[in-house]
Amino acid sequence: MIQITCDSCGKPKEDGARTLRETWILGYDLQVENKSGVQRSIRFQDKWDDRRVCELGAIHLCSQKCKEAYIRGEKRVA
């Protein structure tokens, strides 16, 4: 069994928990290195997809605040 945690604050995602107050965000943070430098791309899905949570570069965020903190490069405390 896989335990999903927020990549910003570390909060664990509860199995099957889907409430109006808890909307998890799935995205991808990929870095590509080439001869001119490193390129970073962060993209977010429109909705959570359990089938894609283990894909390369997947990021899991528990809230909009954590998403914003992740983009800024900050770590939040749950």
3-state secondary structure of 70: helix
How far apart are the C-alpha atoms of 43 and 54, rounded to whole Å? 15
The per-residue pLDDT for range 26-56, each reduced to its tens digit, is 999 998 898 889 888 999 999 999 999 999 9
Q: Show the beta-strand stretches assigned E in 1-78.
A: 25-34, 37-44, 58-61
Residue 19 predicted with pLDDT over 90: no
